[in-house]
């Protein structure tokens, strides 16, 4: 019987088990948004997971929206990531880079030349952003011109090529959590009247073009995608998320991707507070490898995999606090509690100093 400890093949990527490390922003990059040796050690410690999905990684300078997030758009960043992938591979692990553009969830203080962030439409998000010096209100973004979109698609493809140069086993295109591709998908943030706005088919056009370009660049068997159908994170919503995401998943299925990563629920809210959504319908529409993400413990993860509801389960905070989570699951051992104060600050503290089980 297939369970959480069973090996798997996700396209060209061989997984030793079905425990996936979810993408987790940690804000520990060095100067120039370059991954440091400390970042390499962090991921090396967690190499026993079947597949590591890295922290979200901007594809270009304009894609940054938070301080100290490692990029994949300079030679120095590629070299830094090579240290990371080498450390993970030496420890027997597999690792995929999450490709990211934050869109409007940024600030001129974080943009080249102090420019306005870009978005599908000029709609200012509610809330504030930490610019590295202070919390500041979000600004009204600049709507992308139609003529700019082919260049954006090409930038995603180049970032995927850079990831391969850095030694990654694959990439995950980040199309969730209220960032640029998700902003195009959702009716609340996309008010365009051209071929990239209006109907769900038009709102999905950019994501599908990006996916096709990335697949052409590095092969679909090394490409996954993250979707988060009902998260309200970063001030967005959709008039009919079920219809929108059923369409998206049905269009993604023929690409024969390595995997589809679905973030269930609404952020850290308990399951009883989740916005209703039929995730099983997405599973039925998608014939490839299906990762469920958010709110799982060992028992619920085992049940999901053994029942066929998922091919793997992604864990975030549990793997953050338990680098040896797979072994703890095997032994039924107690789990370390995550230190929420050090999620986004602390250097080694709350990053590489969580204890391992004794042999």
**Domain ranges within the chain, ordered by starting residue:** 8-342
pLDDT at 24 over 80: yes
**Could you report the per-residue pLDDT of 339-350, keeping only the tens digit for each?**
999 999 999 999
pLDDT at 158 over 90: yes
Contacts of 332 (CB under 8 A, 6+ apart): none
pLDDT at 301 over 90: yes
> What is the pLDDT at residue 59?
98
pLDDT at 273 over 80: no
pLDDT at 272 over 80: no
- Count CB neighbours of 252 within 10 A: 22
Nearest alpha-carbon partner for 163 in 210, 217, 212, 211: 217
Query: How much is the mean pLDDT over the chain?
Result: 96
pLDDT at 97 over 90: yes
Binning pLDDT at 50, 70 and 90, where does residue 111 land? Answer: very high
By CB neighbour count within 10 A (0-12 exposed, 13-18 middle, 19+ buried), where does 158 fall?
A: middle
Mean pLDDT of 290-312: 97
Mean pLDDT of 310-339: 98
> What is the pLDDT at residue 275?
82
Please pick, among 66, 179, 247, 279, the residue that the annotation labels catalytic: 179
pLDDT at 122 over 70: yes
**Could you report the per-residue pLDDT of 200-229, keeping only the tens digit for each?**
999 999 999 999 999 999 999 999 999 999
Binning pLDDT at 50, 70 and 90, where does residue 266 land? Answer: confident
pLDDT at 324 over 70: yes
> What is the pLDDT at residue 268?
67
Report the percentage of the chain scoring pLDDT > 70: 99
Binning pLDDT at 50, 70 and 90, where does residue 249 land? Answer: very high
Please confirm, yes or no, whether 179 is among the known catalytic residues.
yes
**Could you report the per-residue pLDDT of 43-79, keeping only the tens digit for each?**
999 999 999 999 999 999 999 999 999 999 999 999 9
Helical residues (DSSP H) of the chain, grouped into ranges? 37-45, 75-90, 149-165, 180-185, 200-203, 205-218, 241-252, 279-285, 298-307, 317-321, 325-331
DSSP state of 147: G
Contacts of 148 (CB under 8 A, 6+ apart): 118
**Could you report the per-residue pLDDT of 70-94, keeping only the tens digit for each?**
999 999 999 999 999 999 999 999 9
Mean pLDDT of 330-338: 97
Question: CATH homologous superfamily of domain 8-342?
Answer: Aldolase class I (3.20.20.70)
| Sign for the pseudo-dihedral over CA of 204, 206, 209, 213 | negative
Contacts of 127 (CB under 8 A, 6+ apart): 137, 138, 234, 235
Binning pLDDT at 50, 70 and 90, where does residue 184 land? Answer: very high
């Amino acid at each position: 019987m297939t369970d959480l400890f069973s090996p798997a093949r996700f396209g060209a990527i061989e997984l030793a088990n079905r425990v996936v490390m979810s993408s987790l922003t940690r804000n520990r990059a060095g100067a120039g948004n370059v991954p440091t040796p400390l970042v390499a050690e962090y991921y090396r410690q967690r190499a026993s997971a079947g597949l590591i999905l890295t922290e979200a990684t901007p594809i270009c300078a304009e894609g940054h929206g938070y301080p100290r997030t490692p990029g994949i758009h300079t030679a120095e960043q590629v070299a830094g990531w090579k240290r990371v992938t080498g450390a993970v591979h030496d420890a027997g692990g597999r690792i995929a880079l999450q490709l990211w553009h934050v869109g409007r969830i940024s600030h001129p203080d974080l943009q080249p030349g102090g420019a306005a962030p870009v978005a599908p439409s000029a709609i200012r998000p509610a809330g504030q952003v930490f610019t590295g010096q202070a919390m500041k209100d979000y600004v009204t973004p600049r709507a992308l011109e139609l003529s700019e979109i082919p260049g954006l698609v090409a930038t995603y493809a180049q970032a995927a090529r850079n990831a391969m140069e850095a030694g990654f086993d694959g990439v995950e295109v980040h199309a969730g959590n209220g960032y640029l591709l998700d902003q195009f998908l959702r009716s609340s943030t996309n008010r365009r009247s051209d071929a990239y706005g209006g109907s769900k088919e038009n709102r999905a056009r950019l994501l599908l073009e990006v996916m096709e370009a990335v697949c052409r660049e590095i092969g679909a068997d090394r490409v996954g995608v993250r979707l988060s159908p009902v998260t309200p994170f970063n001030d967005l919503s959709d008039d009919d998320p079920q219809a929108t995401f059923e369409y998206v998943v049905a269009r993604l299925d023929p690409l024969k991707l390595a995997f589809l990563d679905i973030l269930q629920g609404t952020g850290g809210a308990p399951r009883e507070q989740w916005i209703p959504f039929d995730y099983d319908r997405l599973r039925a529409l998608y014939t490839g490898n299906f990762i469920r993400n958010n709110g799982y413990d060992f028992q619920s993860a085992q049940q999901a995999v053994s029942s066929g509801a998922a091919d793997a389960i992604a864990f975030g905070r549990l793997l953050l606090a338990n680098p040896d989570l797979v072994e703890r699951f095997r032994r039924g051992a107690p789990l370390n509690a995550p230190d929420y104060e050090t999620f986004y600050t602390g250097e080694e503290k709350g990053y590489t100093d969580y204890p391992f089980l004794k042999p």
